[in-house]
Amino acid sequence: MLAKSVYTVFLLTAMLLTLLPSLNLTVSVFSKNAIPLDGQIMQAGLYDITGYTGAQPIRVTASGAGLTGTHSDLAIIISNGVAFTLRDADLRCTRYNTAPISIDGMNCKLMLLGDSSVKADNNHAAGIHVPSGTSLLIKGPGSLRSEGSDNCIGIGGNMEQSTGGITIQYATVYASGGCFGDAINDTLVDVVSKKQSGDAIRTEGQGNICCFGADITI
């Protein structure tokens, strides 16, 4: 009787195993979401910019959203107070006076995972647009290369614009302006020598740059 019971359990187990391929057991934690055609990201999750074909800039309104992938002409707007992530993203923007990433509000946060890069390509814009009246916190552990176009800076205001508040914490940031453009802020400042001090760096008529354990190259 015992042998028969064991055989029955074995048989039932084998039958269940044959059904497993037809069950949807895919783990979607690390899956990439498609960006809606209207460009509105209103939910947390990882979004792939590579296949985005919408005509509108991407606007991120949900904290916890992350962007990955590559795109040759894309503008991303980060809404007030939003915390978002770049994970191995590479994007450029060629639209006139439009940065690849624009900060639209206070207390925005950018977390870096992996190595990402943004470039304003011949369009009179900063790599990351942080205008007066906005603020951005950039946090590691990843790295970021941000390049402005001609006459513009890597991170800060667009051409002839004042800059908002910029804080960099434990991230590796390579910022560079295009021809005749500075790296960070409208006035070139020596942030490298202050990268471990945690002191605010104030420039004439501009915003603040605060660095905490950051590795910055300009």
Top mean pLDDT of 25-39, 142-156, 172-186 is at: 142-156
The whole-number average pLDDT for the span 47-57 is: 92
Sign of CA dihedral 188, 192, 193, 198: positive
Q: What is the mean pLDDT of the chain?
A: 75
Which residue in 96, 74, 95 sits closest to 86, CA to CA? Answer: 74
User: For position 150, what pLDDT does the model report?
Assistant: 74
User: For position 154, what pLDDT does the model report?
Assistant: 84
pLDDT band at 24; cut points 50, 70, 90: very low
Task: State how far the Cα of 61 lies from the Cα of 43, in Å rounded to an integer.
Answer: 8
User: For position 156, what pLDDT does the model report?
Assistant: 86
Question: Is the residue at 11 inside a domain?
Answer: no
Question: Is the residue at 9 inside a domain?
Answer: no
pLDDT band at 152; cut points 50, 70, 90: confident
Number of domains in the chain: 1
Question: Is the residue at 203 inside a domain?
Answer: yes
Question: Is the residue at 110 inside a domain?
Answer: yes
Q: What share of the chain has pLDDT > 70, as a percent? A: 67
Q: How many helices (H) and strands (E) does the chain have?
A: 1, 18
Which of helix, strand or coil describes residue 84?
A: strand
Question: Is the residue at 2 inside a domain?
Answer: no
Question: Is the residue at 26 inside a domain?
Answer: no
In DSSP terms, 50 is beta-bridged to none
pLDDT digits (tens, 9 = 90+) for 64-109: 999 999 999 999 999 999 999 999 999 999 988 899 999 999 999 9
Range of the domain at 130: 31-217
Report DSSP state, residue 18: H
Q: Which two tokens stand for residue 24?
A: 């949807």
Q: Which residues are within 8 A (CB) of 153 and not within 5 positions of it... i.e. 6 or more apart?
A: 126, 127, 163, 175, 177, 181, 182, 183, 184, 185, 186
User: For position 70, what pLDDT does the model report?
Assistant: 96
Which residue in 65, 132, 148, 40 sits closest to 99, CA to CA? Answer: 148
Q: Which amino acid is at 5?
A: S
Of residues 9 and 74, the one with the higher pLDDT is 74
User: Which pTM value belongs to this model?
Assistant: 0.73
User: For position 13, what pLDDT does the model report?
Assistant: 47
Question: Is the residue at 146 inside a domain?
Answer: yes
Written as one string, the DSSP assignment of 116-127 is: EEEEE-SSS--S
User: For position 64, what pLDDT does the model report?
Assistant: 95
Question: Is the residue at 24 inside a domain?
Answer: no
